[in-house]
A = this chain, B = another copy of it.
């Protein structure tokens, strides 16, 4: 699994990990330290860091596989972008009924892009 995908999963599920798992993960993926450097920082072996990170990766993957939260949320954002692109073309329509409805659509879709 690549780092970006892991970081995305971490954004969703990181709060379900233990403090030590979070610490290891952030030193690795936010601060880009090597396994050896993380081990020194935390006073554990390089192998201990490796095992901790492997366990975290497996947990994050499992949570996504079991709940699909990230996939659903990404679908929602993608749909919101499609909707906004279309609705913005209707916003300045000369028929005010059209522009008013377009504004309603835009307001609802913007809440999903956050």
A contact residues vs B (CB 8 Å cutoff): 12-13, 15-16, 62-63, 66-67, 69, 72-73, 75-76, 79-80, 82-83, 86-87, 89-90, 93, 95, 97-98, 101-102, 104-105, 108-109, 111-112
Contacts and interface: CB of A to CB of B under 8 A. Distances in A.
Specify how many copies of this chain sit in the oligomer: 2
**Chain A at the B interface: mostly helix, strand, loop or mixed?**
helix
A67 B112 contact: no
Nearest to A111: B79
A16 B104 CA distance: 38
Given A13-B67, A66-B15, A67-B15, A101 B79 contact: no
Nearest to A107: B82
